[in-house]
Structure 1
Amino acid sequence: MTDDEVVEAVRAVAQAGTLPPPATPEAVAAAEDVIGFPLPSLLRRLYVEVANGGFGPNEGILGVSGGSAQGHFADIAELYQDGPDPSGRIPAGLVLIYDWGCAIWSLIDFRDPAGPMWCSHEGECRPQGMTLAEWLTGTLAGTVTVEAVLEGRRHRR
């Protein structure tokens, strides 16, 4: 799918539910300042054009400031700034966006404009072999689940 198609697919799902309004460009820029890397272009578009988080699996991904929170995590920049991994196993530029529960996280690699997805679980952080676009369309279709995320991680051992 193209980025335009992903934006439209998320927008269609968003119209059926209650999501926060889109993020302001200033909130996105503030998150980028904290993280030290630009948001992948698709994530930026989704935040600014569709909703400030809340889309994706279950209760949705975290937003930037003023957007969708998840549990006691307010936004991606706050979580990144607080240091999600004191052991240093999560490289700089990998940003936690979705908590599957049981200390299983999906992350986006902000170092790459395509937004490759990673998984963090039990002290390991591994690439998932898919981009944000593939991850989002998979979560919307129900093919990317916590089980699939963990299974993908096991195949890379």
Structure 2
Amino acid sequence: MLDEAIVETVRGIAGAGSLPAPATPEAVVQAEKMIGFPLPPLLRRLYLGGKRGLRPGRGFLGVRGGASQGDWNDLAEIYQDGPDPSGQLPAGLVPVHDWGCTIWSLVDFRDPAGPMWCTHEGQHWHQGINLAEWLSATIEGALTVEGILDSEPAR
């Protein structure tokens, strides 16, 4: 699914009234400053276009004023004490989607394409797809937590 098709699909979901109002530009800038990297363009477009509560699957974390997820209120809050107090995740990998059971999908903000990563039980690994592909697969129901864990590196 191309970026435009993803945006249109999410707009359709929003039109059904299941997503919050757009994020403010100030909330996006605040998140970028706290994280230290710009949001990938597709993610920025979705948040500012009315998708701050974007929820493929169980829950997609928003920016300030948007959708909270688990113990976190927004993307920037995760970075208040640095990218990862445990030192296991590189700066720029931002947890955005909670699959439950301490399994998170992360977007790599260091790359505008937004490569997707996963973290679980102290391990993190590349999912082999970018944000657009991840969103497409999640919207279509083709990406599941089981599939993500199947790609987990051997311990």
- Structure 2 Cα separation of the partners of residues 107 and 46 of structure 1: 16
- Which sections of structure 1, spanning at least 5 residues, go unmatched? none
CA RMSD of aligned residues (A): 1.6
Deviations 1:109-145, CA, capped at 9 Å, x for gaps: 0000000100001111111001111111111111111
Deviation at 1:84, TM superposition (A): 6.3
Structure 1 residues 4-43: aligned runs within 5 Å: 4-43=4-43
User: Does residue 142 of the first structure (1) align with residue 141 of the second (2)?
Assistant: yes
Structure 1 residues 30-109: aligned runs within 5 Å: 30-58=30-58, 60-83=59-82, 85-109=84-108
- Structure 1 Cα separation of the partners of residues 78 and 69 of structure 2: 11
Task: Please report the TM-score for the alignment, with normalisation by the length of structure 1.
Answer: 0.91
Task: Please report the TM-score for the alignment, with normalisation by the length of structure 2.
Answer: 0.93
Greater than 3 Å deviation, 4+ residue runs: 82-85
Letter in 2 for 1:3: D
Residue 122 of structure 2 aligns with which residue? 123
Aligned-pair identity (%): 61
Pick which of 103-112 and 69-78 moved more: 69-78
Answer 1 or 2: which has greater helix percent.
1
- Structure 2 Cα separation of the partners of residues 152 and 93 of structure 1: 21
